Structure 1
């Protein structure tokens, strides 16, 4: 029986590695189908190099395990397993990305355990998600940092890294927007602030997003695999709503071109609209309070 990732960490006596226990338990579930495959792994953030050693034990058939770190001291690390490679440089720079791709391509896992700063996390995603193979996994660790100003974050900061990944949930459901807006319009603020560019084709390959405490995992798949698919209707009797069977489960989705909330990506205008709606509601409440029926029913409301 193969050992769990947690067991491998507890038994490890070589270079120091650091991961939260909840990550290790979760990784056992999402990595299960990949354990015996010939895969390439990129881990951004090497530190002492221990996690790279453990990956070689966990993924016995891995082809290449690449670690990238900005710290030049990492170039002095030596590994007994020839599959491990180290790239020294800023992962958010194009030159470093090219050197990483020289080591292996495509990658099946990308693990961002780097600086944990919002700008670096988002830039890394823009650079390396396109380098994932179909069915590959992109993992971002330690997202608790996105709530701290020391890492360019904050609970209500709209451009924190966690906010970026929340936006991707809407992009998964792009098929149902029913407006003439491209996927990347939703990320316009992030693109401008962090000087990135994500193509609509790339965004269309986001298949699944999973969140657990401090961790986000994004699965990539070919765009046609990410659609809702055809309706499947089973059974013979449909006595309550016969149309379901008669129409073969086909459902018409309403056009949203007249829906302000689906056509206005400008956040300032949205805030203005919300303020306007609030004023309208306050006036409506005041009108009700001044109405004859409200005055007549006052004794009843006091009961």
Structure 2
């Protein structure tokens, strides 16, 4: 799956090598699943059958889709069924449509035959033409990568990250835009689902949003019924550091980790301390629902100040870590992992984005003193000398 995703931007020879190794049928099965996952819901009232022929180096595989309103799109086993439209494209072109960079809708990369056979009854021709147009648009929606609004995807797949208790997707759009065209690995802690429901709405949302991404979800319960190409449900406890490390060793490193799990403050800290080392440089670790830092039954602190053992306390500590170079006597000591690798912390209401990178710029040399500043022609004033005590006005500085 990962090689197929990377083939979206690789030379055609790499796709050919993959087909030779895995077989065209295996590749076509994955492409079929991806197309069906991305398709809009059909709106045509009259049933329409559309054939899609995928070709590669003289071989071809034919799939016939049945589309009609209020029914899921199905693949017809009988390829001899009369079709209202035939589409043919090279398999590598479909891979580039699905896993290449986002852009405007493509044309000119497929062959199209509209109503290849004369209908038996021309009295319904107008309705048939309209239905075929609508069904064709639906099928082609699954063969493209449009710029979809994350809030709409959240609603479509039943995630609670927008227009629910939270309004997170606007923040996610801002923070994740740079990753959207990349073959990212995303791990989300907490798959969701209550009262026996399977959940997985957020995982499907991320799969659609990151069209080249491999999406992993972690839950206490078996949610493997959600498994599809590019989406894998894992079983594990976010409070078990050993289990988290084993998962990260097998499926990481990750570009994005999202903690939407138990929201227990101790669990939040265990997960961060265990998984942050497995976030790639340039990646981001997200903590959701930090209101529990003020709720005692989640290990939070009652009152207006969150304690050091809460998720908010974790973020406060990371702010100090970012500025470890400026901490006087601590300068020159061996930095911790978070001091060395946390480069930014962006906090919005109930959600935080922790960016990983190289926090190793030294800034002012440790030997800089007043004599050195004087040699530069500018001695910085002491913090308590910035106001003129007589007039209460700022002193002019250069």
Q: TM-score range with shorter-chain normalisation?
A: 0.5 to 0.7
* Counterpart in the other structure of 1:40: 185
* Counterpart in the other structure of 1:117: 264
Of 218, 224, 230 in structure 2, the residue corresponding to residue 83 of structure 1 is 230
Gaps of 5+ in 2: 1-145, 193-198, 366-371, 383-398
Of 158, 169, 174 in structure 1, the residue corresponding to residue 319 of structure 2 is 169
Using the TM superposition, give the Cα deviation of residue 251 of structure 1 relative to its aligned residue in structure 2, in angstroms. 7.4
Matched, 1:57 2:186: no
Using the TM superposition, give the Cα deviation of residue 78 of structure 1 relative to its aligned residue in structure 2, in angstroms. 2.5
* CA 59–121 in structure 1, closer or farther in 2 if over 3 Å, else same: same
Tell me, in whole angstroms, the C-alpha distance in 2 between the residues paired with 1:169 and 1:210.
10
CA RMSD of the aligned region, Å?
3.0
Tell me, in whole angstroms, the C-alpha distance in 2 between the residues paired with 1:34 and 1:86.
22
Residue deviations 1:62-82 (CA, integer Å, cap 9, x gap): 1x2111111x2x335333x31
Bigger Rg, structure 1 or 2: 2
Residue deviations 1:23-47 (CA, integer Å, cap 9, x gap): 1011111101100001100100111
Using the TM superposition, give the Cα deviation of residue 157 of structure 1 relative to its aligned residue in structure 2, in angstroms. 4.6
* TM-score under structure 2 length normalisation: 0.50
Residue deviations 1:145-190 (CA, integer Å, cap 9, x gap): 1111121102335232211211211111111111137989xxxxxx
* Larger strand percent: 2
Whether the aligned pair in 1 keeps the contact of 2:264 and 2:298 (CA below 8 Å) is: yes
* TM-score under structure 1 length normalisation: 0.65
Of 202, 219, 227 in structure 2, the residue corresponding to residue 69 of structure 1 is 219
* CA 59–153 in structure 1, closer or farther in 2 if over 3 Å, else same: same
Tell me, in whole angstroms, the C-alpha distance in 1 between the residues paired with 2:178 and 2:171.
13
Alignment of 1:145-294 (within 5 A): 145-154=292-301, 155=303, 156-159=305-308, 160-180=310-330, 200-224=336-360, 227-228=362-363, 247=376
Whether the aligned pair in 1 keeps the contact of 2:340 and 2:359 (CA below 8 Å) is: yes
| Shift >4 Å, 4+ stretches | 181-184, 226-230, 249-254
Tell me, in whole angstroms, the C-alpha distance in 1 between the residues paired with 2:248 and 2:381.
42
Using the TM superposition, give the Cα deviation of residue 102 of structure 1 relative to its aligned residue in structure 2, in angstroms. 4.5
Greater relative contact order (CA < 8 Å, ≥ 6 in sequence): 1
Whether the aligned pair in 1 keeps the contact of 2:241 and 2:270 (CA below 8 Å) is: no
* Larger helix percent: 1
* Counterpart in the other structure of 1:93: 240
* CA 17–180 in structure 1, closer or farther in 2 if over 3 Å, else same: closer
Tell me, in whole angstroms, the C-alpha distance in 2 between the residues paired with 1:114 and 1:69.
8
SS state at 1:77 partner: helix
Tell me, in whole angstroms, the C-alpha distance in 1 between the residues paired with 2:332 and 2:269.
19
Of 159, 176, 181 in structure 2, the residue corresponding to residue 31 of structure 1 is 176
Tell me, in whole angstroms, the C-alpha distance in 2 between the residues paired with 1:183 and 1:213.
34
Whether the aligned pair in 2 keeps the contact of 1:210 and 1:218 (CA below 8 Å) is: yes
Tell me, in whole angstroms, the C-alpha distance in 2 between the residues paired with 1:7 and 1:55.
12
Gaps of 5+ in 1: 185-198, 231-242, 255-303
Whether the aligned pair in 2 keeps the contact of 1:87 and 1:99 (CA below 8 Å) is: no
Whether the aligned pair in 2 keeps the contact of 1:45 and 1:67 (CA below 8 Å) is: yes
Using the TM superposition, give the Cα deviation of residue 105 of structure 1 relative to its aligned residue in structure 2, in angstroms. 1.8
The total of aligned residue pairs comes to 219
